[in-house]
Amino acid sequence: MEQNESPEDWKARWHVMDAWTVGEFAMLCCGWDPGTGEHPDQGAFNAAVEAITRAVRVGAIPTCELKWPARIEEQIFSGAPLFRPSEVSEWALKRFPATFPVPAEWASEGALDIRERTSLLRIIAALAGLAKIDLNNPARAAEDLEAEMRRLHVSLERRTIGKHLKAALEQLTQR
């Protein structure tokens, strides 16, 4: 807790952070202020880290794409900022409803629900078809789209484009 901060202000402070580390996210899932660095219940903390790790491994929650490699100390101590609050809060509220300190209205702020995401991916697939973009080769398609986006002065990494094109292709095959 920072000076002159009420006991509840830390929640708002953590909500507006650009990204959380695994440890910070786990502490928030347990209902603790990561700024204190204290783990009142190591077992609960370890369980939260395990739940987060599993969710990341199966793609249930996204991680941030770092703009430069994590520093060695970040790698060793899981200190890389990998989780955007707006992308993971809804998951945390479902898994840790009694302790996660972010109100539900914050979690859904700007987040797409599954129907909206599915619709947008299908629209991407349809537009790709109209533009004669081969979604079966997402790497090549991403390269072409990245070049076009640069021409339009829009910045989006090829890897991100490719990820969304693959997801659009998956939507087509799930019909």
- Ramachandran region of residue 5, left (φ > 0), alpha (ψ -120 to 50) or beta? beta
**pTM for the structure as a whole:** 0.58
Average pLDDT score over residue span 112-138: 84
Name the amino acid, one letter, at 46: N
Please, are residues 22 and 49 in contact by the beta-carbon 8 Å criterion?
yes
pLDDT of residue 73: 66
Please, are residues 163 and 141 in contact by the beta-carbon 8 Å criterion?
no
pLDDT of 169 higher than 90: no
The percent of residues above 70 in pLDDT, for the chain, comes to 85
pLDDT of residue 24: 92
Average pLDDT score over residue span 35-39: 86
Number of neighbouring beta carbons within 10 Å of residue 114:
7
